[in-house]
């Protein structure tokens, strides 16, 4: 394996993006709205396309605005359809995000086909190419700055509103009775997810976003029963996934005689492996650990029943 | 009553309502004007309150005046709108008509005067927070946005847990508590709010005897301090021992007033309609209360 500064930047971009996703992802998982991340990450596409059509450029600010609006609309439409159409939340989400995603695809094919807004790139991303696009003379990739900026913003919002987010996720009715609008907190979280998603789109693609919103928080929830630790462990898992993912993308295919493979896919896969490890070996929740404990108990019980003479 | 005479339900409710108007207790005089006053000394005054879900009325034309310092039981069959009544008072669900005033003010101006204990099943008890964290949430309105829970508020939260007898469980994650202990955490959180009016949705549902005793004890102490408690209650056998004021509810207010006067076989029949097995329970409960 030939590690260069390129590889370091790829890991840094991947890690920044993964942590930026994992932080709001913790609250999605706790609110049992994991699929909302999936829905929003697809449904921002028409927002991007329309922002592009209006401004005619891929400048970041209109893109973020378009995505944020599309993200909030996804959450709004889902709620309306669930309430007035009397269908369950999951179905409503499916209706909204597939429709919006389709509109986005049509808009891109019809109106913006001649430019570099490629649906394939949106899905898979091009994290391997991010170190090429640097800012001025600094040598820092643009993607690192964008994802880093979003990460800092997410971190600040969560630090400032930690108690509000926690109450809004645990007991929204209490939040409302105390005068903290649970609706406001909900849409703030949705906006964070939408903006995080777009930041990631430009560099790493949506596969990684969906994985990073859900898998590190779910892993952390297996390892701790404290929200602050959950955020920390989820972030650590995200960083580790980025590192292991890129290393695996470089090395694993060569064992079988192939060239290196896509880093985005491997990062998502590494997160899945870490989740499996936590699921098996978590000290409190791990099924392997539980299995060994129950075996021990059985031996203890049987030795109680038939005491040694 | 209802099914023996073959009355349809709306008619039954109509007669119930008329009768309930006649059998109103003396406190306080019913206001018949179109625009009633907002009596500021009354913890909870409800006028002309109607709530509907999907155009189906759940509460119909509720008139209530809850006197200060009373332990008030809200009793009625399943689907009678008991939880809905509490939620409508708290602006958690929209009112189709009418109002509910707390010490003469609408809820949004009286948040500091009210504490709400929701049904235990309304939240996810696997959520990663400790008992103390949940109790401290009762201080959030005092703190406002952005400010963290201070040392004093943490001490208060610990005191509140002490008052419900589980201070030693403060650092436990809430999924590791028994049902009764979880209920006590909710009560401690309400205490933390230091309110004048407490609205509690079935605090006695599926709790152990020790918790039941602790809750009753707590209600008594609150009442001695002049606080008013509205408690949705299911167990007819204990109604008259626990509460000194009653609201019998079945979509409408069937009767309200001092528990001793209101808890009669006739009123219970009106409240529970023709549900015969429930009537048996009620009769049993009456016998208990006479003994």
Which residue range(s) make up the domain with A65? 5-305
More confident residue, B289 or A31: A31
CA A166/CA A164 separation, integer angstroms:
5
Beta carbon pairs, A and B, within 8 Å: 70
- Nearest chain B residue to A176, by CA: B92
The listed range with the strongest mean pLDDT (A107-111, B4-8, B229-233) is B229-233
What DSSP character marks residue B113? G
**Contact present, B50 and B100 (Cβ < 8 Å):** no
**Contact present, A28 and A21 (Cβ < 8 Å):** no
**pLDDT tens column, B84-107:** 999 999 999 999 999 999 999 999
Chain B residues with CB inside 8 Å of A167's CB? Answer: 137, 140
Residue B7 has pLDDT above 50, yes or no: no
Torsion of CA B98, B100, B104, B109, to 10 degrees: -110
Q: Which A residues in the span 256-295 are in contact with B, Cβ-Cβ below 8 Å?
A: none
Residue B14 has pLDDT above 50, yes or no: no
Average pLDDT of B59-66? 93
The mean of the pLDDT values for chain B is 85
Residue B201: φ, ψ to 5°: -100, 100
CA B16/CA B12 separation, integer angstroms:
6
Residue B4 has pLDDT above 60, yes or no: no
Chain A residues with CB inside 8 Å of B118's CB? Answer: 171, 173-174
Domain count, chain A: 1
> Can you give the pLDDT at residue A28?
94
**pLDDT tens column, A173-202:** 999 999 999 999 999 999 899 889 888 876
Residue B8 has pLDDT above 70, yes or no: no
More confident residue, A221 or A82: A221
Is A56 buried (19+), middle (13-18) or exposed (0-12) by CB count in 10 A? Answer: exposed
Residue B212 has pLDDT above 90, yes or no: yes
Paired with B71 in beta bridges are B229
Instruction: Report the range of poorest mean pLDDT among A115-129, A190-204, B142-156, B235-249.
Output: A115-129
Average pLDDT of A284-305? 73
CA B9/CA A85 separation, integer angstroms:
29
Give the H or E element holding residue B258: strand B252-258
> Can you give the pLDDT at residue B47?
93
**pLDDT tens column, A98-124:** 999 899 888 888 776 655 556 666 666
The mean of the pLDDT values for chain A is 86
Residue B232 has pLDDT above 90, yes or no: yes
Residue B17 has pLDDT above 50, yes or no: no
More confident residue, B9 or A41: A41
Residue percentage of chain B with pLDDT more than 90 = 69
Average pLDDT of B197-217? 93
| Ordered strands of the B245-250 beta sheet | B114-117, B197-201, B228-232, B71-75, B245-250, B252-258
Q: Which B residues in the span 78-107 are in contact with A, Cβ-Cβ below 8 Å?
A: 87, 90-92
Residue B18 has pLDDT above 50, yes or no: no
Residue A307 has pLDDT above 70, yes or no: no
Average pLDDT of B199-204? 95
Domains and CATH numbers, chain B: 2-290 (3.40.50.300)
Residue B182 has pLDDT above 60, yes or no: yes
> Can you give the pLDDT at residue A142?
86
CA B42/CA B29 separation, integer angstroms:
12
> Nearest C-alpha of chain A: how many angstroms from B193?
9
Paired with B100 in beta bridges are B46
pLDDT band, very low/low/confident/very high, at B273 (cuts 50, 70, 90): confident
Residue A57 has pLDDT above 50, yes or no: yes
> Can you give the pLDDT at residue B1?
38
Q: Which residue has the tokens 């590494």?
A: A270
> Can you give the pLDDT at residue B39?
65
**pLDDT tens column, A206-254:** 778 889 999 999 999 999 989 999 999 999 999 999 999 999 988 888 8
Q: What is the CA radius of gyration of chain B?
A: 19
| Beta-carbon count within 10 A of B40 CB | 11
| Beta-carbon count within 10 A of B66 CB | 23
- Nearest chain B residue to A173, by CA: B92
> Can you give the pLDDT at residue A304?
53
> Nearest C-alpha of chain B: how many angstroms from A34?
15
Q: Which ipTM score applies to this complex?
A: 0.85
Q: Cβ separation of A170 and B91 shorter than 8 Å?
A: no
Phi-psi sector, B94: left (phi>0), alpha (psi -120 to 50), beta: beta
> Can you give the pLDDT at residue A291?
85
Cα B53 from chain centre: 20
Q: Cβ separation of B129 and A227 shorter than 8 Å?
A: yes
Terminal C-alpha separation, chain B: 26
Residue B280 has pLDDT above 90, yes or no: no
The CATH number linked to A189 is: 1.10.3470.10
Cα A238 from chain centre: 9
Chain B residues with CB inside 8 Å of A177's CB? Answer: 90-92, 111, 114, 116
CA A251/CA A266 separation, integer angstroms:
11
> Can you give the pLDDT at residue B276?
47
Average pLDDT of B50-75? 92
Residue B24 has pLDDT above 70, yes or no: no
Chain B residues with CB inside 8 Å of A225's CB? Answer: 128, 173, 175
> Can you give the pLDDT at residue A105?
85
């Amino acid at each position: 394996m030939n590690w260069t500064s390129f590889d370091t930047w790829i890991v840094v971009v991947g890690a920044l993006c993964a942590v930026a996703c994992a932080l709001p992802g913790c609250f999605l998982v706790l609110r049992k709205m994991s699929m909302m991340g999936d829905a929003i990450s697809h449904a921002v596409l028409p927002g991007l396309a329309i922002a592009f059509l209006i401004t005619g450029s891929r400048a970041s600010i209109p893109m973020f605005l378009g995505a944020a609006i599309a993200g909030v609309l996804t959450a709004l439409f889902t709620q309306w359809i669930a309430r007035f159409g009397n269908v369950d939340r999951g179905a409503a989400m499916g209706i909204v995000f597939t429709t919006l995603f389709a509109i986005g695809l049509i808009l891109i094919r019809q109106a913006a086909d001649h430019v570099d807004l490629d649906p394939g790139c949106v899905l898979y991303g091009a994290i391997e190419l991010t170190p090429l696009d640097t800012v001025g003379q600094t040598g820092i990739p643009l993607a690192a700055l964008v994802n880093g900026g979003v990460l800092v913003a997410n971190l600040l919002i969560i630090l400032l509103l930690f108690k509000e987010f926690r109450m809004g996720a645990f007991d929204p009715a209490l939040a409302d009775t105390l005068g903290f609008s649970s609706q406001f907190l909900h849409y703030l979280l949705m906006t964070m997810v939408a903006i995080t998603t777009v930041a990631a789109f430009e560099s790493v693609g949506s596969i990684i976003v969906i994985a990073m919103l859900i898998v590190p928080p779910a892993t952390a929830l297996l390892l701790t029963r404290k929200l602050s630790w959950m955020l920390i462990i989820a972030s650590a898992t995200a960083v580790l996934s980025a590192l292991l993912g890129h290393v695996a993308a470089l090395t694993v295919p060569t064992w079988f005689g192939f060239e290196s493979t896509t880093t985005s896919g491997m990062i998502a896969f590494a997160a899945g492996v870490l989740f499996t490890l936590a699921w098996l070996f978590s000290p409190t929740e791990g099924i392997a650990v539980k299995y060994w404990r129950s075996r021990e108990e059985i031996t203890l019980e049987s030795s109680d029943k038939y005491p040694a003479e | 009553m209802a099914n023996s005479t073959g009355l349809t339900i709306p008619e039954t409710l109509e007669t119930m309502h008329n009768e309930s108007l006649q059998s109103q207790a003396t406190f306080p005089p019913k206001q018949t004007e179109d625009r009633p006053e907002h009596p500021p000394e009354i913890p909870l005054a409800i006028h002309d309150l109607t709530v509907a879900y999907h155009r189906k009325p759940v509460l119909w034309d509720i008139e209530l005046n809850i006197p200060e310092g009373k332990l008030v039981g809200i009793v009625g069959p399943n689907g009678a709108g008991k939880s809905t009544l509490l939620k409508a008072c708290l602006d958690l669900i929209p009112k189709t008509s009418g109002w509910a005033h707390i010490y003469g003010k609408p809820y949004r101006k009286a948040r500091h005067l009210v504490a709400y204990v929701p049904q235990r099943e309304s939240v996810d008890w696997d959520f990663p927070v400790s008992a103390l964290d949940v109790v401290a949430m009762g201080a959030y309105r005092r703190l406002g946005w952005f400010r963290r829970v201070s040392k004093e508020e943490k001490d208060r939260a610990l005191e509140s847990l002490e008052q419900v007898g589980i201070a030693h469980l403060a650092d436990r994650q809430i999924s590791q508590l028994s049902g009764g202990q979880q209920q006590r955490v909710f009560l401690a959180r309400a205490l933390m709010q230091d309110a004048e009016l407490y609205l509690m949705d079935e605090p006695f549902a599926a709790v152990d005897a020790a918790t039941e005793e602790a809750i009753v004890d707590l209600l008594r102490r609150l009442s001695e301090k002049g606080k008013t408690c509205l408690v949705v209650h299911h167990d007819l056998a204990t109604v008259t021992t626990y509460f000194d004021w009653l609201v019998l509810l079945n979509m409408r207010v069937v009767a309200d007033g001092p528990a001793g006067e209101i808890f009669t076989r006739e009123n219970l029949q009106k409240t529970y309609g023709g549900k015969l097995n429930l009537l048996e329970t009620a009769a049993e409960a009456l016998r208990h209360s006479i003994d």
